[in-house]
Amino acid sequence: MTGLTSQQVTEKTQANQTNVMPKPNARTGWDIVRENVFTYFNFLNTLIFLLVLTTGSWKNTLFMGVVISNICLGIGQEFYLRRKLKQLKAVTLHYHTVLRDGKEERILSDDIVLDDVVFLTAGEQIPCDMKILSTEYLEVNESLITGEADPVSKNQGDSLVSGSFVVAGSCYARAVKVGKDTYYASIIESAGTYQKMDSRILMAISKIIRVMSYIILPLGIILFLSTLYRDGSGWQEAIISTVASVIGMIPSGLYLITTITAGTAVMKLANKKALVNDFSAVECLSRVSTVCLDKTGTLTTGEIKLKELVSYDQNSYEYLRLFAKAFPVRNSTMEGIYQAYGDKTQCTWDSLVPFSSARKYSELKAGGHCYRLGAADRLVNSEEVLKTVSEKMAQGDRVLALTKDGECMALVVMSDVLKKDAQEVLDYFRTENVDLKIISGDHPETVSKIARQLGFRDYDRYVDLNTHPQTLECYQKLVKEYSIFGRVSPEEKRLLVQALKANGETVAMSGDGVNDVLALKEADLAIAMANGAQAAKAVAQVVLSESDFTPVPLILKEGRRIVNNIEQVANLYLLKTGFSLILSLIFIILGSSYPFAPISMTVIGCLTIGMPSFFLAMEPNDKPVGDDFFSSVMRATVPTAVLIGLFVGFFGVLEKIGYLADATTLSFYVTAYFSFFHLMQTSLPISNWKLTVVGVMLILFFASLFVPDLLPLSGLSGSDYIFMGATMLLGTVLLCWCHKDS
């Protein structure tokens, strides 16, 4: 078997017969520009800008500078993020072994061409539609395609479907369909086009913005007509008054600052060697209540060393070498045996059955006998030998049995190499009240001893799943009682995750092997190691590029920071939207002009919302995340918005009946005061950084009062100052009372 020649590969590449999959989800540069420029609110702001220009009031068009800045920031950030992630995603690229010119080569899956001969082994995802040329034994999991979890045995001449993965064994297969012609590609194409990041926060913000988009235009038209015909103002004054109202109701920059903050989080984690598909994964981990850890690759390095051989048959060494020789693609256990004894033997075999997580053993037949190598407690029947097995497991060792026709030839005692930083990770999750579950295919007592060495608090709460019925109801009880689960098959791993979710937990699952794929798919958040099986990386939302679990606490912290800070930012933006909406309704009822000019709303918006939000969004904040983002924002925002609306509306009533000569200036100062008060309240707990931000904003605010002809303010009398002070004092007391429990 020689595979294709270099000339044939070149010809097929030139004919576009390569395995490049269609990417309907990829956005072009034009898509990014279009989605940031051609939006409903940008259209509305442009229309408002043109209307204000007709009045000749240039200073009232300054709000457009904020709009343009938002557009430029959004486009720049998306281009930068796209370029960096393209560079960092190299860790998730899939490589395969192909035969070309009679030699084996490792190439990217995209570089496979039609008729290439590919060597596939356990853990590899099948890159294209193929036909098996030769195999001694092969099991394939097609659950990513069919939804069926049970492995399917494959033989020479059978078809392999792209998107499935090899569970056990190996084969040589020929690529019969590549790229857009594969079955997997047809699924991708039917999935549709690019969708924005899907998260609870972004969905809530999008819902708020969508509702406001329906309200703003009709309400603005009604306010304009009311001001023009009932208040008796000229059309120029009616336009400026209406524009101030509409500008206040538009939550300009809210979605932008949210996506920029989210994108920054993804980039920050990428620089820490954690490749996150999108912000929704970071947000999900910030809400995780239970983390399921696979022992291998998380608590241990995955390297296994042979510690001792307890032999009951003088030929045991020879047959261990035969196992090492018969299975050239070695898992970590077989590699440990190979490193200890090599594969030099004169023995031959008749047939092979590779190791799988479901069986817990590998098998070969030679000379009319059946030899098995696998979990000792599965293969051994002798009470005396089982006693030795228990003693070795009690020391935290992994014990395999080599059997011949059911009789034990030897016990192979092996030890895992612990990860140095695993204890630090376990301690962090414990202090953050995140429940930990260790799930392993090994004997639970062995896992328990390893967990104890790492300082795992619940090391003694372990269970062997083989002793319990495989039902969801049973597992829901087990996950409440135990923290370590041993002898777990791939299907049982998935059922454990289902049980945790059924109990109301938000579950993150880490894993690196084929046996973890089903559970990774089921979890709310899947975390895979870069050196793990391709199939595991294919279903994961987070890939740890250095196969090191230590970045996961950082992801948790970053997720909490982003979620909490976005909530703060939303509190700021929605305050202006809220009180502007209330005031618009009040002044429509009064038949009076809106009490603010556009420049006044621009100053208040920039200094109490826009500018501080960019700084506050970067502040460290790893407190636990609340369950309901929308309700939390409403509780923080509504009292202040209602208070501003009622006070300013009351000033409008007093002006209309003649008790106040000019409500505009009073309204401006009171609104600015409560907006700054809300900014301080949102910034709790106060830090030096936050005090600096608020202090700078206050200085800029007072500076704006002295800019000639900038703000349409008039002087206040002594009684006005007294009245304003009393209003501010009353409002402060009321707001403190409203938020006393927060």
Contact yes or no for 608/68 (Cβ under 8 A)? no
Residue 141 backbone phi and psi in degrees, to 5: -100, 120
Q: Coil, strand or helix: which one is 3?
A: coil
- Residue whose structure tokens are 């969508």: 210
Q: How far apart are CA 90 and CA 517, in angstroms?
A: 21
Q: How far apart are CA 400 and CA 125, in angstroms?
A: 28
Residue 159 backbone phi and psi in degrees, to 5: -95, 150
* Bridge partner residues of 166 (DSSP): 140
Strands 159-160 and 300-311: unpaired
Contact yes or no for 629/600 (Cβ under 8 A)? no
How many angstroms separate the Cα of 618 from the Cα of each of 265, 270, 272, 285, 727?
A: 9, 17, 17, 19, 34
- What is the torsional sign of CA 288, 294, 295, 296? negative
Among 294, 377, 442, 524, the one annotated catalytic: 294
* Bridge partner residues of 171 (DSSP): 120
**Catalytic site includes residue 181:** no
Residue 619 backbone phi and psi in degrees, to 5: -70, 135
609's tokens: 């919302």
Q: How far apart are CA 500 and CA 116, in angstroms?
A: 44
Contact yes or no for 294/439 (Cβ under 8 A)? yes
Q: What DSSP designation does 418 have?
A: E
How many angstroms separate the Cα of 679 from the Cα of each of 19, 328, 690, 734?
A: 54, 65, 10, 16
301's tokens: 């390095």
Annotated catalytic residues are 294
